[in-house]
Every structure is written in C-alpha cells, then in structure tokens.
Amino acid sequence: MTKLARETAEALFDGNIEKVFENQQKANAAYEKKLRADLVKQDPKPAGAGGGNEEKDEAVEFARSWANSEPTPSKTQTKV
C-alpha cells in the first residue's frame, strides 16, 4: 500500500475529511500527469518534421533546396 493510500485510509478512519480530500487531489494530479505523459508518447509525429515517416515530402524537399540555394533578387526582394 502506498504512503498516500495509507494516510488517506487513516484520515478517513479518524474522520479527517479535509485530509481525505487533500490526498484525493494529490492522487488526481499525479494520475493526470501520468495520463498526459502517456498521451504525448502515443501522439504521432507530423509528417515532414522528422517523424520517422520514410516517404519524402515534396514541400519539405523544396523548402530545403530553396533555403540552401544562392539568394536571388526575387528571394530577397530588393528595392531598386
């Protein structure tokens, strides 16, 4: 039995409802934190962002080639 469960059982036995509710809030917060972490782990990575998708994304490839190319007047939009 965990320490929190033991404290809660003792508080319930003693009639200390405030302590019971306090411990319940702690347990709920811990459960929510664990649930959120599990959901983040299961969340799929978006395509094109290093998500492990083996397919080439044309938009990502175009952006990389454009970023690595030499600057041109159309890219920099210089004023004359």
The predicted-structure confidence for 30-54, as pLDDT tens digits, reads as follows 999 999 999 988 888 776 555 555 6
pLDDT tens digits, 57-74: 788 788 888 888 766 666
Please give the pLDDT value at position 49. Answer: 56
Name the percent of the chain lying above pLDDT 70: 72
Query: Does the structure show a pLDDT above 90 at 28?
Result: yes
Helix spans in 43-80 (H): 58-68, 73-76
Tell me, rounded to whole angstroms, the distance of Cα 68 from its chain centroid. Answer: 31
